[in-house]
Amino acid sequence: MELIFEKSKAGRSCNLLPPCDVEKAPLAAEIARQKAPRLPQMAEIDLTRHYSALERRSHGVNNGFYPLGSCTMKYNSKINEAMAALPNFTDIHPLQPENTVQGSLEVLYLAEKYLCEVTGMDEMSLQPAAGAHGELTGLLLIKAYHQANGQDNRRKMIIPDSAHGTNPASASMAGFSVVNIDSAADGRVDLDALRAVCDENLAGLMLTNPNTIGIFEKDIEQICQIVHQAGGLVYYDGANLNGIVGLSRPGDMGFDVIHLNLHKTFSTPHGGGGPGSGPVGCKKILAPFLPSPRVIKNGETFTFADAPQTIGRMKAFYGNFLVVVKALTYLLTIGGQGLTDAAEMAVLNTNYLMKKLDDIYDMAHHEISKHEFVISCERIKKEVGVTALDIAKALLDYGIHPPTIYFPLIVHEALMFEPTETESIETLDHCAAVMREIYELAYSNPEALHAAPQKACIGRPDEVEAARNPRLRYNFE
C-alpha cells in the first residue's frame, strides 16, 4: 500500500478556509520555522479513502471475533462514546474554576464510589493512565506506607511465576526487589513456597486472581493471611476482573490495594496504544498516600483536595477523564445486576468454547475457568511440527483475531483465549469449528499452516526486527 507521503501531490488540499480578513501578524523570525512543514498534500476524498483503506487492513472488535486472552476485547456500546463526546465534557479546560465544572467532578466522584463498591475497597484514585501505571501507583502506596511506619527495609515484593510481565517491571521501577515463586502443579500459588520467602524484609505480594491461566486461587484468604502475618501488604492485579466482577470482591478476599483496567473490564476501547485508565483502589490504611488531587464532596459541592501524606501526582491533571466518562456510562447503563450477569456470561462463554475444544486440544488444566482458558500446543508441535504461532496465523485467514500466544510463560506453546460476554453462541461455535478444521490441517497438511496467513495483507513480519528497529518516519530523501 502506498504511504500517505507517496500519494501527496503538490498543491492539493482539503482546506476551505475563507479569505483572511484581519491584518497578518507574522511571528518573530527566531521562533518562525525556516521551511514549510513537509505535510502530505491531498484532496479530502483521497485522504478519506486512505484512512478507510488503512482501517480495512486492521482487525478490531467491530470487524470480528477478538479472543485475545488477558485483554478483554469485549464489544463497547456506542452509548459510551456518545456520552464521552458531549461538548460539556470535551470542551472544558483542566484549569477551569471548580464551580464551573461541578458535573465533571461529579463524574470522577461517582466513578470512584462505584468502583470502590465493585472492588470492596475504601478509596480510589482515577489518575493512572493504564494498567501498568496503576501498578506503579499502587506499589508506591505500599512503599510510602512502610516508610511512614519506619520500615523502609521492607523492599521484597513476591510475585508468582504466572504473573503478567508488567508486575515485576512495575515492582522494580518502584524500588522493590522481586522474588519469584513457582506455581504449584495445579497452576495456583504454592503456599509452602510463599511461606518460605516471607520474612521481616517483606513489602508485599502481587497477585492476579483469577490468575493468568484463568483459574481462581481457592486459598486466597490464606495467602493474604500469610503475607499480612509477615507484615506485608497484598496487591491485586485487577486488570482481568471480567470473570468475577459483581460476584466476588478483592477487598473481601483480604487485598489492600488494587488496580483496574477501565479499558478492559469496564468497556472502553483499547488497542493501538490508548488512551487507557488504570484506577487504583485501596483500603483505609493506604488512603493517606493516594495521588493528588482527589475529588471530595463538601455538602453539595465537589472540590479538589490532597491526601495528607500523598505520594504526589502520577499524571498531569485528573487522569484520562473521557475514558472515565465511558466507564461510568457503562456502569450506569448495565447496573449492579448487569455486571454480575456480564461476569457470569463471560465465564459461561469461556467454558463453552473450552469444552468444544478439549477433546482434541490439550488444555493447561481441566477445571472450570473464569474469564479465559489456555491451550498448550506442545504435543502438536512434537508430533507434526505445527506451533502455536502457526495456529494463530491460520486463524487470521478465517477472519478471527488470534488469541494471546506464548503467554503465560508457564504453559509451553500457549494459546490463551478470552471470548468475553459480548459474543454470541454462533460466534463461539464458528470459532470452535475453525479451530477443529485447523487441527485437522495440522495433521493432514502441516505445510499449509506454516505458510499461513494467505489472505492477510501482511504475512509473517520479522517480529524481532519490527520491535527493535521500527521504521516510524518517512524517509524523504
131/403 with CB nearer ligand PLP: 131
241/391 with CB nearer ligand PLP: 241
Which among 153, 247, 270 is positioned nearest to 203, based on CA atoms?
A: 153
CA 441, 348, 329, 327 torsion-angle sign: negative
Smallest gap, in angstroms, from Cβ of residue 63 to ligand PLP? 21
Smallest gap, in angstroms, from Cβ of residue 134 to ligand PLP? 8
130/224 with CB nearer ligand PLP: 130
Smallest gap, in angstroms, from Cβ of residue 298 to ligand PLP? 33
Smallest gap, in angstroms, from Cβ of residue 302 to ligand PLP? 27
Helix (H, G, I), strand (E, B) or coil at 353: helix
Length of the chain: 477
- HSE-CB at 385 with a 13 A cutoff on CA atoms is 8
Three cell numbers, residue 25: 501578524
Task: For 122-165, give the DSSP string.
Answer: SEEE---SSHHHHHHHHHHHHHHHHHHTT-TT--EEEEETTS-T
Smallest gap, in angstroms, from Cβ of residue 81 to ligand PLP? 19
Smallest gap, in angstroms, from Cβ of residue 242 to ligand PLP? 10
> Is residue 362 within a helix (H) or strand (E), and if so which, with residue range?
strand 362-363
Measured CA distances, 102 to 93, 98, 105, 111, 307 (Å): 13, 6, 5, 14, 20
Smallest gap, in angstroms, from Cβ of residue 73 to ligand PLP? 11
Three cell numbers, residue 224: 493474604
240/420 with CB nearer ligand PLP: 240
Note whether 257 and 142 are within 8 A (CB): yes
Smallest gap, in angstroms, from Cβ of residue 111 to ligand PLP? 17
**Which value, in Å, is the radius of gyration of the alpha carbons in the chain?**
25
Smallest gap, in angstroms, from Cβ of residue 341 to ligand PLP? 22
Give 290's DSSP letter.
Answer: P
The residue ranges that bind ligand PLP (CB under 6 A) are 70, 130-132, 164, 166, 208, 237, 239-240, 261, 276, 278
Smallest gap, in angstroms, from Cβ of residue 71 to ligand PLP? 6
137/387 with CB nearer ligand PLP: 137
112/237 with CB nearer ligand PLP: 237
67/131 with CB nearer ligand PLP: 131
204/453 with CB nearer ligand PLP: 204
How far apart CA 260 and CA 240 sit, in angstroms, is: 8
Smallest gap, in angstroms, from Cβ of residue 272 to ligand PLP? 12
Cα torsion 361, 363, 366, 368 to 10°: value is -100
Give 48's DSSP letter.
Answer: H
105/414 with CB nearer ligand PLP: 414
**Which amino acid does the sequence have at 2?**
E
Position of minimal CB gap to ligand PLP: 131
Smallest gap, in angstroms, from Cβ of residue 94 to ligand PLP? 22
209/387 with CB nearer ligand PLP: 209
Task: For 193-261, give the DSSP string.
Answer: HHHHH-STTEEEEEE-SS-TTS---TTHHHHHHHHHHTT-EEEEEETT-TTTTTT--HHHHT-SEEEE-
Three cell numbers, residue 19: 479569505
Note whether 435 and 361 are within 8 A (CB): yes
> Is residue 302 within a helix (H) or strand (E), and if so which, with residue range?
strand 301-305
Helix (H, G, I), strand (E, B) or coil at 179: strand
Note whether 125 and 119 are within 8 A (CB): no
232/408 with CB nearer ligand PLP: 408
Give 19's DSSP letter.
Answer: P
87/273 with CB nearer ligand PLP: 273
